[in-house]
């Protein structure tokens, strides 16, 4: 039985097939309108969401299935102290597939180890957001006709922006990808992406301090909002919130066929005046998200029917402790700490749940 916890749980071929299915759904939605008849999808949202949750709901309804769940933790047994593992076991009794968003990094992984149905990570803290990546990939593919040989500029909160982490990981498996990082100094990429993905895979990247500096070479500009809810204090947010704002003026040196993406919600980082620019694709991106989620639900339900065995865990050691307070191990007291060797050459071990480096 497969789950989708990190984007690299799927091979490039599987991502391509998902995109093909999504494109087929767009062409002939009727063909799919009863594919999930009698199936239930549960949404377990411990953090706010509009697009992700509602696009999963819309996706399941358009497949003829039904939806149950909660959209904020206060209405679930988590407030009574229920563990992620127990919640996953219980919800498996009521639904055929679970979608979880959680503020703790690694929580959906824990759910997938305990559920008896597939689990989809709909965002875990500042860590990963693989289904947003599915939307991003389809949008890039539909705009540019390819996922290879592209220069991608990421702008904004690259530290806590989980959508950026997942998209960089996904694109690391395509060829000819150049990366430009545009972020305030305090909000640069975490090391599990910079070292373990960009550097380890030898992907060319550079950091620049203004949008204008790199605008002319970028094929896809990926804007993000500052993740205010993950900042240690509001003063820090206030200082940084106006760091990068995309305005029509800043686009004057941009390529004519560049595409501008944003996972949304936007706060102030893209001026509304940019919306009329034909290069602005962020609303299409939200729609593409629904089609990719339809394709994903179909795939995971089909695979679960064929094989209900949970996949094996990677080899780990249990004699190290994770000290990341955002990690699911920080609140789930009985959870075993597990570390996997991610860089043999340098002997780097990372937490299996949140990917923090062992100290
Ligand atoms: C993103 C998220 O939740 O990480 N939103 C989304 O899912 N579309 C981006 C964000 O909240 O900034």
Domain ranges of the chain: 7-129+287-306, 132-285, 317-359
Q: Residue 117 is encoded by which pair of tokens?
A: 């149905």
Closest CA to ligand 1's atom 12: 225
| Ligand 1 pocket test target in 120, 130, 237, 263 with most atoms within 8 Å of CB | 263
Residue 295 has a pLDDT of 98
pLDDT band, very low/low/confident/very high, at 359 (cuts 50, 70, 90): confident
Q: Read off the pLDDT band of 349 (50, 70, 90).
A: very high
Our answer on whether the CB atom of 266 is closer than 6 Å to any ligand 1 atom is no
Catalytic-labelled residue, pool 2, 104, 129, 262:
129
Q: Check if 163 has its Cβ closer than 6 Å to any atom of ligand 1.
A: yes
Predicted structure pTM score: 0.96
Quote the strand ranges of 129-204, DSSP E: 150-155, 177-182
pLDDT at residue number 81 = 83
d(CA 350, CA 109): 15
Atom of ligand 1 nearest to the CA of 157: 12
How confident is the model at residue 275, as a pLDDT? Answer: 98
Ligand 1: atom nearest CA of 227 is 12
**7-129+287-306 matches 132-285 in fold:** yes
Mean pLDDT of the chain: 96
Q: Is the CB of 129 under 6 A from ligand 1?
A: yes
Centre of ligand 1 to C-alpha 171, Å, is 19
Burial class of 179 by CB neighbour count within 10 A (0 to 12, 13 to 18, 19+): buried
User: What percentage of the chain carries pLDDT values higher than 90?
Assistant: 93
Question: 257 alpha carbon to ligand 1 midpoint, in Å?
Answer: 25
Whether ligand 1 lies within 6 angstroms of the CB of 87 is answered as: no
Spatial CB neighbours of 14, under 8 Å, sequence gap ≥ 6: 299
Ligand 1 geometric centre to CA of 262 (Å): 9
List the end-to-end C-alpha distance of the chain, in Å, as a whole number: 33
128 lines ligand 1 (CB under 6 A): no
Residue nearest to atom 6 of ligand 1 (CA): 263
Task: Lowest mean pLDDT of 53-67, 73-87, 229-243, name the range.
Answer: 73-87
Contact 341, 314 (CB under 8 A): no
Phi, psi of 345 (to 5 degrees): -55, -45
Q: How far apart are CA 289 and CA 245, in angstroms?
A: 24
Q: Which of helix, strand or coil describes residue 102?
A: strand
How many Cβ atoms are within 10 Å of 317's Cβ, its own excluded?
13
Alpha-carbon span 217 to 97, nearest angstrom: 42
Of all residues in the chain, the percent with pLDDT exceeding 70 is: 100
Is-catalytic flag, 101? yes
Picking from 224, 207, 254, 287, the residue whose alpha carbon sits closest to that of residue 22 is 287
At residue 5, the 3 state secondary structure works out as coil
What CATH number belongs to 7-129+287-306? 3.40.50.1370
| 205 membership: H or E segment, kind and range | strand 205-208
Instruction: Judge if the beta carbon of residue 226 lies within 6 A of ligand 1.
Output: no
pLDDT in tens, 254-291: 999 999 999 999 999 999 999 999 999 999 999 999 99
Radius of gyration of the chain (CA): 20
Q: Which two tokens stand for residue 51?
A: 């697009």
The catalytically annotated residue of 35, 51, 200, 255 is 51
281/278 Cα distance (integer angstroms): 8
- Per-residue pLDDT for 207 more than 90? yes
Active site residue 52: yes
Per-residue pLDDT, 74: 79
- In a 13 Å sphere around the CA of 249, the CA atoms on its Cβ side amount to 3
Name the packing angle between helices 84-94 and 107-114 (round to 10°): 50
**Confidence band, pLDDT 50/70/90 cuts, at residue 15:** very high
Q: How far is the CA of 123 from the centre of ligand 1 (A)?
A: 8
- Quick one: tokens of 95? 């639904």
Residue 345 has pLDDT above 80, yes or no: yes
Q: Which residues contact 199 (CB under 8 A, 6 or more apart)?
A: none
Q: Are strands 220-223 and 150-155 parallel, antiparallel or unpaired?
A: parallel
The response to whether residue 225 sits with its C-beta less than 6 Å from ligand 1 reads yes
Is the predicted pLDDT of residue 338 greater than 80, yes or no?
yes
Condensed to tens digits (0 to 9), the pLDDT of residues 69-110 reads: 998 877 777 777 899 999 999 999 999 999 999 999 999 999
Task: Please tell me if the CB atom of residue 162 comes closer than 6 angstroms to any atom of ligand 1.
Answer: yes
User: Does residue 121 have its Cβ closer than 6 Å to ligand 1?
Assistant: no
Fold (topology level) of 132-285: Rossmann fold (3.40.50)
Q: Is 51 in the pocket of ligand 1 (CB under 6 A)?
A: yes
Cβ-proximal residues to 67 (8 Å cutoff; 6+ apart), any chain: 40, 41, 42, 43, 56, 57, 60, 61
Question: Residue 21 CA to chain centroid, in angstroms?
Answer: 20
Confidence of residue 21 (pLDDT cuts 50, 70, 90): very high
Quick: pLDDT tens for 150-161.
Answer: 999 999 999 999
**Which atom of ligand 1 sits closest to the CA of residue 135?**
8
Averaged over 163-172, what is the pLDDT?
98
**Cβ of 132 less than 6 Å from ligand 1:** yes
pLDDT, average across residues 203-231 = 96
Q: Give the helix ranges, DSSP H, for 145-226.
A: 162-171, 191-193, 211-215
CA 44 to ligand 1 center in whole angstroms:
16
Provide the strand spans (E) within 274-335: none
Q: Which of 47, 265, 282 to mutate to test the pocket of ligand 1 (most atoms within 8 A of CB)?
A: 265
The pLDDT assigned to 354 comes to 97
Convert the pLDDT of each residue in 31-52 to its tens digit: 999 999 999 999 999 998 999 9
CB 217 within 8 A of CB 240: no
CATH code matching the domain that covers 317-359, chosen among 1.10.357, 2.30.30, 1.10.3470, 2.60.40: 2.30.30
């Amino acid at each position: 039985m497969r789950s989708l916890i990190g984007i690299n749980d799927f091979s490039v071929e599987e991502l391509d097939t998902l995109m093909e299915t999504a494109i087929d759904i767009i062409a002939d939605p009727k063909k799919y309108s009863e594919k999930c008849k009698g199936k239930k999808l549960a949404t377990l949202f411990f953090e706010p969401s509009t697009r992700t949750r509602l696009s999963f709901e819309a996706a399941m309804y358009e497949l003829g299935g039904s939806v149950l769940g909660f959209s904020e933790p206060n209405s679930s047994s988590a407030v009574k102290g229920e563990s992620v593992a127990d919640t996953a076991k219980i919800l498996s009794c009521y639904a055929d597939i679970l979608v979880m968003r959680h503020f703790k990094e690694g929580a959906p992984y824990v759910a997938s180890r305990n559920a008896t149905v597939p689990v989809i990570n709909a965002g875990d803290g500042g860590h990963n957001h693989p289904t947003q990546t599915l939307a991003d990939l389809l949008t890039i593919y539909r705009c540019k006709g390819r996922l290879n040989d592209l220069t991608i500029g990421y702008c904004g909160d690259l530290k806590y922006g989980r959508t950026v982490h997942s998209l960089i990981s996904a694109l690391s498996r395509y060829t000819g990808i150049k990366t430009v990082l545009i972020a305030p100094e305090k909000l640069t990429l975490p090391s599990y992406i910079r070292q373990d993905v960009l550097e380890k895979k030898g992907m060319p990247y550079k950091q620049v301090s203004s949008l204008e500096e790199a605008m002319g070479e970028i094929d896809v500009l990926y804007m993000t909002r500052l993740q205010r809810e993950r900042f240690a204090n509001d003063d820090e947010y206030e200082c940084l919130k106006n760091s990068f704002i995309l305005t029509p003026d800043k686009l004057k040196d941009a390529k004519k066929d560049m595409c501008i993406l944003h996972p949304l919600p936007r706060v102030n980082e893209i001026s509304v005046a940019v919306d009329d620019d034909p290069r602005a694709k962020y609303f299409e991106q939200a729609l593409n998200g629904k089609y990719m989620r339809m394709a994903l639900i179909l795939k995971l339900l089909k695979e679960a029917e064929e094989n209900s065995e949970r996949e094996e865990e990677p080899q780990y050691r249990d004699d190290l402790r994770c000290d990341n307070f955002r990690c699911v191990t920080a609140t789930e007291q009985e959870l075993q700490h597990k570390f996997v060797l991610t860089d043999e050459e340098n002997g780097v071990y990372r937490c299996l749940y949140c990917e923090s480096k062992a100290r």
